[in-house]
């Protein structure tokens, strides 16, 4: 009798998890294709284009400042440390280059259109 209750609970729990997984994967992508008219309108107007250009310039300035800060940081290090930093970066790139996406990202991430 006790075994039957445990078995029934496992079956019900398994069915619930399966149904949630099946339904959950479909609903996550429903809002990806929605474009708001506001975003479309700002890119068409002159002020929207100017705003986009300003934002692009600011992003470029941030990237340039970050790159300069990294160069300065490297210059501040001793030659031994610079060599070790370079070797560590190579090792990290080599180890991380072949890794695939995390499985939850594969399941619930945006789908690549082919």
Per-residue pLDDT at 52? 94
- What does pTM read for this prediction? 0.40
Measured CA to CA in angstroms, residue 16 lies from 3, 10, 12, 19 at distances of: 20, 10, 6, 5
pLDDT in tens, 43-63: 678 888 999 999 999 999 999
pLDDT for 29 beyond 60:
no
Name the residue with higher pLDDT: 89 or 113. 89
> How far, in Å, CA of 58 to CA of 52, rounded?
10
Cα angle value 94/95/97 (rounded, 5°): 65
Per-residue pLDDT at 103? 87
Name the residue with higher pLDDT: 49 or 22. 49
What residue has token string 């030659």?
79
What token pair was written down for 83? 């060599």
């Amino acid at each position: 009798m006790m075994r039957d209750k445990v078995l029934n609970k496992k079956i019900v729990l398994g069915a619930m998890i399966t149904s949630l997984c099946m339904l959950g994967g479909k609903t996550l992508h429903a809002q990806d294709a929605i474009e708001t008219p506001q975003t479309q309108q700002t890119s068409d107007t002159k002020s929207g284009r100017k705003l986009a250009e300003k934002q692009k310039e600011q992003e470029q300035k941030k990237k340039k400042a970050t790159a300069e800060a990294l160069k300065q940081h490297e210059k501040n290090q001793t030659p031994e440390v610079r060599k070790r930093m370079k070797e560590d970066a190579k090792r990290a790139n080599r180890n991380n280059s072949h890794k695939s996406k995390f499985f939850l990202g594969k399941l619930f991430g945006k789908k690549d259109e082919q």
